[in-house]
Amino acid sequence: MPNPLFSRVVFCVGSGSRDHRAVVVALAEGGADVVVAGPPGMPHEVLLNSISNEVWAIGRRSAVVTYDQGDAAAFADAVQRGQAEMGRVDLIVRVEPVLSG
């Protein structure tokens, strides 16, 4: 059975958290190229770039886009920037932190 992620471009939204990193790395290990998306500013951009570098180290392509996560128009613009950078976006994934308690 073919891998449905192979050579797909996934736009993965999060904040650079451990959960975001884990999902992006799993997508890349599954053969996807990943747009790592999240909020602008420090320390988020450092974390997003670190995650993107891990994707490249796996051998898949990656790009980082930031946007104001409370603004729908900014999200649409971020997806368009991801498409411009990677050629297309096939799937959008939003990563929310898992609450334990």
Domain residue limits, the chain: 9-30+41-94
Cα–Cα distance between 84 and 2 in angstroms, integer? 27
How confident is the model at residue 9, as a pLDDT? 98
How confident is the model at residue 90, as a pLDDT? 97
| Interaxial angle between packed helices 18-29 and 44-58, expressed in degrees from 0 to 180 and rounded to the nearest 10 | 20
pLDDT single digits (tens) 65-83: 999 988 999 999 999 999 9
pTM for the structure as a whole: 0.91
How confident is the model at residue 10, as a pLDDT? 98
Contact 85, 54 (CB under 8 A): no
Cα–Cα distance between 33 and 6 in angstroms, integer? 8
Mean pLDDT by 10 residues, the chain (101 residues): 84 91 96 96 93 97 95 96 97 83 50
How confident is the model at residue 97, as a pLDDT? 75
